[in-house]
Structure 1
């Protein structure tokens, strides 16, 4: 088996909503996202902890490439001052292809709106596994756009 190293895909997205509004939805009121974007996110359920607290375990039930998928995540880090939240995938379809997978989101205020900086850190199961660009373009970015339209 070939050695696979930690890799990342990242993007910046300019949005109209404030950094505070985005951070609030993704960190503290995550359960609203299925109402905002039901065609992509079917439900978000908390299993342990409380919304907006480190160590909480949350399941994201989503549609990707026409299939129902689940990503059970632990909220690894919350930084209120820098409006940053980290999610580590601990169960689900992503781990069929990746040894590890994390989402890091930071929301930075700008003169008009804010910038969402998203990093997906992952380690592939093997070298045949593609980088998760499709996940970014067809799931994550459309959901961010819908949240922006909702919060703005």
Structure 2
């Protein structure tokens, strides 16, 4: 019997979404008011439920029901907050077992980072995704980057309209 050993192939994906609100406002809203996502972006986020902890604390587990690309059927992901970096305005999540994403990825971590834009005001929100595919047929997690493009702009509009 032959045993094959594979080195884990960690792949990375990154997207940047430019928004009008300041990095502080975007970060604060995204971290502390993420229960508003179904209200702010109802076509993309059907539901958000806190399963463990607080909305804005390390170790918390949040269940999201997403509707990727506006599909009628939604999928469920369980995200755990791993790190919160107030100074750098970044939050890192791990996708937990039981998530739809686990069908495609052995491991998946996402970091959302709000940065000051170099010119013109507003901020750049960067999403870094590190993932390991279940197999070669697994797609890259581009649905999360497409999701970020739409939802982060909706969060931005919410911030501006409620300033």
For normalisation by structure 1, the TM-score amounts to 0.92
Which residue of the other structure, out of 120, 132, 148, is the alignment partner of 1:140? Answer: 148
Which residue of the other structure, out of 109, 124, 137, is the alignment partner of 2:133? Answer: 124
- Aligned-partner Cα distance in 2 for 1:20–1:2: 45
Q: Is the 8 A contact 1:25 1:32 kept in 2?
A: no
Q: Cα distance, 1:2 vs. partner?
A: 8.6
Does residue 41 of structure 2 align to residue 37 of structure 1?
Answer: yes
Q: State the partner residue of 1:100.
A: 107
Q: Cα distance, 1:25 vs. partner?
A: 1.9
Higher percent of residues as strand: 1
- Aligned-partner Cα distance in 1 for 2:25–2:99: 28
- Aligned-partner Cα distance in 2 for 1:145–1:64: 16
Does residue 87 of structure 2 align to residue 81 of structure 1?
Answer: yes
For normalisation by structure 2, the TM-score amounts to 0.86
Q: Cα distance, 1:136 vs. partner?
A: 1.6
Q: Is the 8 A contact 2:109 2:130 kept in 1?
A: yes
Which runs of 5 or more residues in structure 1 are unaligned? Answer: none
- Aligned-partner Cα distance in 2 for 1:26–1:140: 12
> Which digits, 9 at most, give the CA deviation of each residue in 1:74-104, with x for residues without a partner?
1000000110001101031100010011110
- Aligned-partner Cα distance in 1 for 2:5–2:137: 10
Which residue of the other structure, out of 20, 29, 48, is the alignment partner of 2:52? Answer: 48
Q: Is the 8 A contact 1:25 1:33 kept in 2?
A: no
Q: Is the 8 A contact 1:53 1:75 kept in 2?
A: yes
- Pair 1:39–1:5, CA change in 2 (3 A): same
Moved over 2 A (4+): 1-4
Q: Is the 8 A contact 1:2 1:127 kept in 2?
A: no
**Comparing 50-59 with 3-12, which one deviates more in the overlay?**
3-12
Which runs of 5 or more residues in structure 2 are unaligned? Answer: none
- Specify the structure having the higher radius of gyration (Cα): 2
Aligned-pair Cα RMSD in Å = 1.6
